[in-house]
Amino acid sequence: MRTRPTEPPGDRHKMDSVPSTEAQNNFGRVMGRVAREGELYITKHNRPQAVLLSIDKYLELVGPAAMVELDPLSQRFDQMLAEMQTDRAAAGADRLFSMTPEELSKASKEGGFEDGE
């Protein structure tokens, strides 16, 4: 992976960089490097366009309060998934996939269909 120190205007801190095409084609390696080194410029035509930061570096800059609490989101996702796994939901999906294009068009215009229709 080609890299070279890059110094954007007004920045006294030199940071390694990688061309955007190389970052795109080797994203896994670039991410591994960022995880180890903390930060990396992504350049286009030899000019910095973006910065990749490790999570540790990001938290150092913005503080831990910036992290979204995922537990409530995970719980809501699990609840919604459980609701979709009911016999009623399965019957609705079966009905939907067995509809003709005409029936599907009619149901979409009427706002859906009820059980037993």
pLDDT in tens, 62-114: 877 766 677 788 889 999 999 888 998 888 889 889 999 999 888 888 876 55
Residues 28 and 53: beta-carbon distance below 8 Å: no
Q: How far is Cα 115 from Cα 96, in angstroms, rounded to an integer? A: 11
Closest CA to 40 of 65, 13, 10, 67: 13
Q: How far is Cα 96 from Cα 99, in angstroms, rounded to an integer? A: 5
pTM of the model: 0.46
